[in-house]
Amino acid sequence: MLTIIQIPVLTDNYIYVLHDSVSGETAVVDPALAQPVLDVMEAKDWQLTYILNTHHHWDHVGGNLELKQKTGCQIIAAQADWARIPGIDSCVVDGDIISLGQHQARVIETPGHTSGHVVYYFAKNQELFCGDTLFVMGCGRLFEGTAEQMWTSLQKLKALPPSTQIYCTHEYTQANGKFALSVEPDNFQLQQRMIDVAQLRLNNKSTVPSTIGEERATNPFFREDSRSLQKKLGLENQSPVSVFTELRKRKDSF
């Protein structure tokens, strides 16, 4: 069994602690801060084995060096980011497999938000740790990559099984959903989902994880083939990349 603990930090970040109960190995995904992770290790009497970084931004790697110093863990991150992520021990590329006890994660390269972004997909568990590539009803800003790169990256994730759990690293859901409604106001599933999201946030509860199936139904960045969305944008019968590019442009100024 893979135990997943979600730790809210900063304003809207999530850190994920993953623990394999058989081997006792533990990994943390994108530790913005060290102390909240150390607190979980102490409370659970776990030993940190790995850090899995998705990309180089400070709010995903800020705890790397302190955690490595205090636990002796190994830091795994993208080959493309070897010079930008502090403390890397092992560099990975697309298709590499990482083992956490009996659980295996496939590395998928997803450039767009940054040029070296990767995600970690546990196929057997159908769990995806996707950093800032995919959000609930949204996707990451294009800081280093092109719209075409990000669209291609998202297509890789969209093709995963519908029941795949999406563990993104920010609580952006309510704002993302408002934008989604602005470009697809007649989407009934989206309308209903926003009601659920509002209730969760009212009770200060996380909206993460989502699933690939839910995102296919409600995330505009997975819905470039929606006729109603295309019509709203004035981009009927345009290429998927053109629709995505316009969506991302509008979201940036929403």
* Burial of 227 (C-beta count, 10 Å sphere; 0-12/13-18/19+): exposed
Tokens matching residue 239: 């290429």
Active site residues: 55, 57, 59-60, 113, 132, 170
Q: Classify residue 131 as left (phi > 0), alpha (psi -120 to 50) or beta.
A: left
**50 neighbors 73 (Cβ within 8 angstroms):** yes
**248 neighbors 150 (Cβ within 8 angstroms):** yes
Order of strands across the sheet with 97-100?
A: 97-100, 103-109, 118-122, 127-131, 165-168, 210-211
